[in-house]
A and B are shown apart, each in its own frame.
Chain A
């Protein structure tokens, strides 16, 4: 088993990459749709509503299969510029994960915005602070603090979700673990090691969020 450890650790790099990139893009998608949800415009509101409804209501595996194998079957997509991007399993995986985590994040951020005390916003208005400033300097920091526990959870879910990248030929931690099993026929040992690596990463995320919660605690 020990001789396979370097390969698993190398694959962990890809897992971390997939997780961080998807979370990074996902935050923008999430904030964007969370803002749309506060819009009074019906079209904007329902776009955001159904985006989140559909992406949260279908399994991530189905989403990644539709993006990778599904779109790959459509001839005009294969002939368009999109194919440069969709041809690669790596970018398909990032796209699927980003859209998925974006939907969950938008719900987290939306509820965080909704919990902001009306009085604080009114106070800002009273002081003559403009809307943009109120959003960036007052609402956003409070929303971030509010959403930390739920968002930490989402980070952990995303980390584990990246294991589905192995279904579209990527050799992430799960993909390499399966690869090793296919030649050693020893699933128990290999999956225990891979599982421990996931656990270690979860531990790091968990404590990072805990640290942030303490740091930004205003009570």
Chain B
């Protein structure tokens, strides 16, 4: 009888500890699950990808219980503000425009953007440098943008909606191209392969990943882009008033960087070290 009583008490204590720790320290992280290799889903519907694994490690460093919440890209920031989750890890670049509404942790990875076309397109073989950084400016960048403006005149370019890529095309830096916006990167890829759009703009790895998996002849053209409208790397999006959580994420990202965890995961998912 005494033993049963003991067992009963300890069970209650265990449950109490479990719940209190879960309540005090559970973080919900929003991700899209449709932007491989950053975040995606496997065939069984389980979330996979660079950010999914990184999120798990960050949570271990923060000693927090985390749950991943799926959210469509176009409602990502509104979802954070409406407290559907507490942080965003969805390949979201740190830009001034988004900083008006939410905070970002320090960047954890950086990756360049690129135009892609189907093999045989007239846009292949543009005479531009390999990479341009819009923040540095200078003659090379101006010249490259001029070449792009001329080549892209009258062309229809597909992008995922509400991305840095859309912002760049609408900024006027490459003239007035026809921009077509899609809900997901998958749909951009489908229409590129179908020939409905002349080119697409997204993270370079999004195209190489698609080309590899689908076997479609998608090729990168022109320079890779960084800086300016393309932001300053990818970070964790956090509500403005959650300053404690911001500090914890920054600390965890520091740890992940120092232990080489970010580099390790980046090489696993991107094929190169995209950590920052």
Contacts and interface: CB of A to CB of B under 8 A. Distances in A.
Nearest to A175: B181
B101 interface: yes
B180 interface: yes
A182 interface: yes
Contact of A78 (B74, B77, B161, B195): B195
A109 to B, nearest CB: 35
Nearest to A167: B183
Interface string B176-204: 00001111000100110111100000000
Is chain A's binding surface mostly helix, strand, loop or mixed? helix
A185 B101 contact: yes
Contacts of A78: 194-195
A11 B161 CA distance: 17
B84 to A, nearest CB: 12
Contacts of B77: 185
Contacts of B78: 181, 185-187
Interface string B141-166: 00000000000000000100110000
B196 A72 contact: yes
Contact of A183 (B97, B182, B183): B97
Nearest to B166: A182
A117 interface: no
Interface in A123-182: 167, 169, 178-179, 181-182
A56 interface: no
B75 interface: yes
Contacts of B74: 178, 181-182
Interface string B56-90: 00000000000000000011011001000000000
Contacts of A181: 74-75, 78
A69 B187 CA distance: 8
B182 A72 contact: no
Contacts of A182: 74, 161-162
A206 interface: no
Most B C-beta atoms less than 10 A away, residue of A72, A89, A182, A187? A182
Nearest to B156: A169
A73 B196 CA distance: 11
Given A167-B183, A178-B161, A179-B161, A185 B196 contact: no
Given A72-B194, A169-B182, A178-B74, A185 B161 contact: no
Contacts of A179: 161, 181
B75 A187 contact: yes
A90 B194 CA distance: 16
30 contacts: A69-B191, A72-B190, A72-B191, A72-B194, A72-B196, A73-B190, A73-B194, A78-B194, A78-B195, A87-B195, A89-B180, A89-B196, A167-B183, A169-B158, A169-B180, A169-B181, A169-B182, A169-B191, A178-B74, A178-B161, A181-B75, A181-B78, A182-B162, A183-B97, A183-B162, A185-B77, A185-B81, A185-B101, A186-B78, A187-B75
Interface of A: 69, 72-73, 78, 87, 89, 167, 169, 178-179, 181-183, 185-187
8 A-B pairs with least C-beta separation? A182-B162, A72-B194, A185-B77, A169-B180, A187-B78, A185-B101, A185-B78, A182-B74
Given A73-B193, A87-B195, A169-B181, 12 more contacts: A69-B191, A72-B191, A78-B195, A89-B196, A169-B158, A181-B74, A182-B74, A182-B161, A182-B162, A183-B97, A185-B78, A187-B78
